[in-house]
C-alpha cells in the first residue's frame, strides 16, 4: 500500500508551498508596549509626542495631537454607548454617552483656545464678536 504522505520534504518544496499558501491564518503580533510598565508606557508616549511635535516646530502641534486623541476617545465612547443601547442595557449606555459628552465638551473647549498663527482649528478672531449695529 502506498502512502500519499511523503517521508520528507525538501526545503525548496517547503518554500514553494509557503509562497503559494493562502494567507488564511496570520498569528496576531503582540503590541510592543503591551507588557510594558506604567513608567515605560508614559516615557514611550512622551518620546513619540515630542518627536512628532519637533517636526512642526510650533506649540500648535500639541493641540492637534490632543484634538485627535480627544476625538478618538469621543468616538469610542459613542460606539460603546450605542452597543449597550442595542443590547437593551440602558444604564451602561447612558454612562458611556455621558462620558462621550465630556469628551465632546473637552474637544470644543480645546478647539476654542488659540495657539498662535498656525492654529487653523480655532475660530477666527472675529467669530465671537457680535454685530452691535
Q: What is the pLDDT of residue 132?
A: 42
Q: What is the pLDDT of residue 3?
A: 56
- Which spans in 1-133 are helix H? 11-20, 38-56, 60-86, 90-111
103 lies in a domain?
yes
Whole-model pTM: value is 0.68
The torsion defined by the Cα of 126, 128, 129 and 133, in degrees rounded to 10, comes to 120
What burial letters (b/e) apply to 80-107, b meaning 16+ CB within 10 Å?
bbeebeeeeeeeebeebbebbeebeebb
Q: What is the pLDDT of residue 13?
A: 73
39 lies in a domain?
no
Number of structural domains found in the chain: 1
Q: What is the pLDDT of residue 121?
A: 93
Contact present, 110 and 70 (Cβ < 8 Å) = yes
Q: What is the pLDDT of residue 10?
A: 73
77 lies in a domain?
yes
Query: What is the domain range of residue 87?
Result: 58-119
133 lies in a domain?
no
How many other CB atoms are found less than 10 A from the CB of residue 60?
19
9 lies in a domain?
no
31 lies in a domain?
no
128 lies in a domain?
no
Contact present, 81 and 97 (Cβ < 8 Å) = yes
Cell numbers given for 83: 452597543
Instruction: List per-residue pLDDT tens for the chain, 133 residues long.
Output: 555 666 666 777 767 776 666 666 566 677 888 888 999 999 999 999 999 999 988 999 999 999 999 999 999 999 999 999 999 999 999 999 999 999 999 999 999 999 989 999 999 865 554 444 4
97 lies in a domain?
yes
Cell numbers given for 43: 516615557
Amino acid at each position: 500500500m502506498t502512502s500519499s504522505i511523503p517521508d520528507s520534504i525538501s526545503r525548496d518544496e517547503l518554500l514553494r508551498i509557503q509562497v503559494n499558501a493562502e494567507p488564511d491564518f496570520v498569528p496576531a503580533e503582540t503590541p510592543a508596549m503591551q507588557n510594558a510598565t506604567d513608567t515605560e508606557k508614559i516615557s514611550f508616549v512622551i518620546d513619540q509626542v515630542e518627536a512628532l511635535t519637533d517636526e512642526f516646530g510650533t506649540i500648535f502641534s500639541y493641540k492637534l495631537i490632543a484634538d485627535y486623541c480627544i476625538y478618538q476617545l469621543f468616538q469610542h465612547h459613542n460606539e460603546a454607548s450605542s452597543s449597550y443601547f442595542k443590547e437593551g442595557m440602558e444604564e451602561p449606555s447612558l454612562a458611556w454617552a455621558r462620558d462621550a459628552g465630556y469628551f465632546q465638551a473637552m474637544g470644543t473647549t480645546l478647539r476654542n483656545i488659540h495657539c498662535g498663527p498656525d492654529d487653523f482649528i480655532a475660530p477666527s478672531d472675529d467669530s465671537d464678536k457680535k454685530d452691535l449695529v
